[in-house]
Amino acid sequence: MSKTLNLKRLSARRAALPLAVLAVIAGGAQAQIEEVVVTAQKRTENLQETPIAISALTSNDMEKRGILDYDDIVKSMPTLSQTPYPSSDLLILYMRGQGVSDPMQVTSDGSVGLYIDGLYISRPQGALFDLAGLERVEVLRGPQGTLYGRNTTGGAVNLITAKPTGEFGFKQNLSFGSRDYFRSLTTVDLPAIGDLAAKLTVMKRNQDGYVKNAGGADFGMNDQLGGRLALRWDAAEDFTVDYSLETGTLESAPIYYQSTIDTGLYPGYITGEKPSGKTYRPMDLKPSESVFEGHGLTLTWEATDSLTVKSLTGYRELEFDNYQNYAESFTIPAYAFDGIDNRQFSQELQFIGDVGNNLEYIVGLYYFKETSDHYQNYVTDLTPVGGGIVDKDRDVTSIAKSQAIYSQVTWTPPVLDNRLELTLGARYTEDEREATRDFLVNNFPLELNASNKQSFEQFDPSFTVNFLWNDGLSTYAKVSTGYKAGGSSEGSAPGTFDQTFDPEEVTTYELGLKSEWWDRRLQVNTALFYSEFTDMQLAFTADSYDASLVQSYNAGEATVQGAELSVILMPTPDLRLQLEYAYLDPEYDEVIASTGSIFDPVINPLSPYQVGDEIKKLFVVPYSPENSVNLTADYTFWRTASMEANATVNYSYQSKVYDTTPAGPGVPNRDFYSRPSYGLVDARIGFVFDLPRGDTATVALWGRNIFDKEYRQHVIGLGGAVVPTPLGPAGFTFSAVSWAEPATYGIDLIYEY
């Protein structure tokens, strides 16, 4: 990294303590909030001095709060919203009202980018794998159209792993808990051999399912094994090579659905008004499996005192086999299998430097290629509606390429005591995508080698004005743009696979404040944003009888506005309080009835609309709670010369959300597709002992959802459609409900040397 980096910021904060200095030394030292270092803008910066909406979690935060995977990360940050896909190791992930409701489709991209050490992860399958060996997590909110690998409209989640130190270190975590929960995490830092250092992490984790099944895998079971090898070679005084290999296997079973009505067709059926701890009949359910292997190579060359050149190369393979049994929750049997093979490669070059003390820059080149194969088999009994047994086979191959050049320049004009920063960013992106599909129904080919091919190009600028009012207060104003590439619909009706959709674009205006008060015992950060979306990619049902046939269109425009607040208070060296709050107000400004959709009278003769009609009243932005809150209290309540005890309590709240887009105020009984608000409490009490040789031992008792709150984690509205069809009137009449897992309790045993 440039040796003259951020001199102006250091001079502006001469009174601040060095980075990574903790607030306290027991016995009278003044409490101070720890400074957090981030690399969100490809430079090492203090989070408080970075003029973007960003949140960060350190490894210490994650250990105390029991954060183990993406699901836990999302629940800890109100700006993010998650819902488990019917598959148990796949998330529907939204940020600031932006996401993808069907992440199983390989012919389209997500709105929230996932990264490990700056390397993009294109597919979220296996996302619930244990995130062992992290140094910190950085969550960037809003469009990432300038600096990050893939262009995304919602934001980015970047995992930063702990690098080898070159000195011997050992840490062993053992956890035991409810439903035979077991987790072992072993981390070994090896002494450097010459200029080569290595770190090895091995993780094993498993837990029984929380819905027992006498005929196969229990719903909600989880069994995973993974490892990571990190190497660091200081090849020269100014040249460093970092290589990582990670691999893992995750076996799991899906979440369990219960219908809210009992049709009387299935003796002994247990409805979903309350969660059930067992299936109403034995079900032949196989465990699903995700297997991945990833390689990362980062070369860092300190070319001069003012220029750093970096090369980031990534390769990742994923094999995903998913079995889903909907357990008659649709009132008719439904079963699905999805198999995905994915291979991705990325290459990025970065030139990071400064010109004197007043101009910093980064220039980058990016290339990405992804090849995916997705086979789906879906079996359902449509006899009650005159369709008989329907067995669908769909086989899709998708190839996506993206290349980009980007730059960001920050200028500090020699006025106002160097407290004003002007940042201009720009990115030019070219995307190509092609796909082929075979479609069979009851083994009869309705479509073979159907194909589509697309290409897009996009220019995305951004501009930020940041002003440092004093050493502890700064405000910024930002306008940024981003886009999500177009694609095609895997689930479109036979004969329509050539109908594609174009990119979705967003422009976001943001005002932010970052501040520290009371001698760095109080930190208050806030952001206000207003986003305008055009050519929104919306999926519509494309058949009057078969709701599984879906086509996506650029049919919408929307505005999403909101506010985000983060407050940290450390009144004493032993007590840390944190509040995270997010308010969202999303609204569709326009949705147009499209040709070939369920709104088209040619497809659905009972539709009250014509192609081109305004139908926004039928739609709502899904997975977007109006209010989300996270409260954390961390209190060290006992200290001796060789031991300390601390307690961490976390409360998270999410208001009502809808689990689909077509559930607007104009849809009758739309609340059958909604999830009520809920709040959860997690807690941990830990005792840390200093041992004679400088090593430590920790014993901690923990609980997740300690009050055993019963809440719905996913809901599917059934019994009707958004408009009248030959099968019935508009609206929903019942739900398929999946209840979240009950309270879990356990103990952590940790030894560290």
Residue-wise pLDDT for 706-748, tens only, equals 999 999 999 999 988 999 998 889 999 999 999 999 999 999 9
* pLDDT above 60 (res 199): yes
Q: What percent of the chain has pLDDT over 70?
A: 95
C-alpha span between 650 and 242 (Å, rounded): 36
Who contacts 443 (Cβ-Cβ below 8 Å, separation ≥6)?
391, 393
Average pLDDT over residues 560-578: 96
Which residue do the tokens 């497809």 mark? 603
* pLDDT above 80 (res 3): no
What confidence tier does 500 reach under pLDDT thresholds 50, 70, 90?
A: very high
* pLDDT above 60 (res 8): no
The pLDDT value recorded for residue 152 is: 83
* pLDDT above 50 (res 297): yes
The pLDDT value recorded for residue 384 is: 60
Residue-wise pLDDT for 28-59, tens only, equals 457 899 888 898 888 888 999 999 999 999 99
What confidence tier does 390 reach under pLDDT thresholds 50, 70, 90?
A: confident
**Amino acid, res. 695:** D
Residue-wise pLDDT for 520-534, tens only, equals 999 999 999 999 999
Nearest to 403 by CA among 660, 44, 151: 151
* Rg, the chain, Cα only: 26
Average pLDDT over residues 591-616: 95
Average pLDDT over residues 600-626: 95
Residue-wise pLDDT for 402-415, tens only, equals 999 999 999 999 99
What domains, with CATH codes, occur in the chain? 7-257+269-752 (2.40.170.20)
The pLDDT value recorded for residue 530 is: 97
* pLDDT above 80 (res 1): no
The pLDDT value recorded for residue 701 is: 98
* pLDDT above 50 (res 17): no
More confident residue, 361 or 31: 361
Phi, psi of 113 (to 5 degrees): -85, 135
C-alpha span between 273 and 259 (Å, rounded): 8
Average pLDDT over residues 337-341: 94
The pLDDT value recorded for residue 24 is: 35
C-alpha span between 263 and 283 (Å, rounded): 19
The pLDDT value recorded for residue 192 is: 97
Q: Which two tokens stand for residue 292?
A: 């991945």
Percent of the chain that is helix, strand, coil (3-state, to 5):
5, 60, 35
Residue-wise pLDDT for 415-466, tens only, equals 999 999 999 999 999 999 999 999 999 999 999 999 999 999 999 999 999 9
Who contacts 2 (Cβ-Cβ below 8 Å, separation ≥6)?
302, 305, 306, 307, 308, 352, 353, 354
* pLDDT above 90 (res 231): yes
For the CA atoms of 17, 21, 26, 30, the dihedral, rounded to the nearest 10 degrees, stands at: 30
The pLDDT value recorded for residue 4 is: 36
Average pLDDT over residues 202-226: 94
The pLDDT value recorded for residue 28 is: 42
Nearest to 83 by CA among 320, 271, 255: 255
Q: What is the mean pLDDT of the chain?
A: 91
* pLDDT above 70 (res 349): yes
Average pLDDT over residues 691-716: 95
Q: Which two tokens stand for residue 563?
A: 């506010």
Q: Which helix (H) or strand (E) holds 60?
A: helix 59-65
Query: What is this structure's pTM?
Result: 0.91
C-alpha span between 608 and 669 (Å, rounded): 18
